[in-house]
Amino acid sequence: MKGLPSTFWGKLTKDLDGVVTAWHPLQDHCADVAAVTEALLALPLWRMRMARLAGRDDLSASICARLCVLSALHDLGKFTTPFQAKGRPDLRVPEGGHVEAGLGALIDARVQQCLQPLETFGAGVYGLLAAALAHHGEPKSFEAARASHQHASVTG
């Protein structure tokens, strides 16, 4: 989309002066990531490697679908006003990141209620979700998440 974001954004394009010139809606970005996960898990080598990492011979269709859901949630922290302020000056709040904010959102009772269906995925689902949220290569602690959550409100 051209110009400044008018709703939740997931990716921005800026010109050389740092001015936002285009944006990709956050829900579309999350759907794109889930679709890429699905496509990668359809490749035999990827699926075999993921299965081995999980200590399995193969991944069932339901496990693959669950991994797609978790990958779609990888940018949950982008649904916070401090992160959205990076592309939306109209929000008039200090800017913030999305990794700690995503983990911090897991502490929010409203978010927990929305994520409750994930519990059917099994006991390790929140560990997998935490790993997906920390997708920039460095694990984050829940203590850092709690601190971030105090500064970031879940928008909605």
Give pLDDT tens digits along the chain (156 positions).
999 999 999 999 999 999 999 999 999 999 999 999 999 999 999 999 999 999 999 999 999 999 999 999 999 999 999 999 999 988 999 999 998 888 888 888 898 899 999 999 988 888 888 889 888 776 666 555 555 555 544 444
**Taken in order 120, 124, 127, 128, is the CA torsion positive or negative?**
negative
For residue 126, give the nearest of 83, 66, 81 by alpha carbon: 66
| Buried residues in 64-86 as b, exposed as e (16+ CB within 10 A) | bbbbbbbbbbbbbbbbbbbbbbb
For residue 144, give the nearest of 89, 91, 80, 97 by alpha carbon: 97
CA angle 142, 122, 51 (to 5 degrees): 95
Q: C-alpha 26: how far from its chain's center?
A: 10
CA angle 96, 97, 101 (to 5 degrees): 100
The pTM of the whole model exceeds 0.85: no
CA angle 136, 130, 58 (to 5 degrees): 95
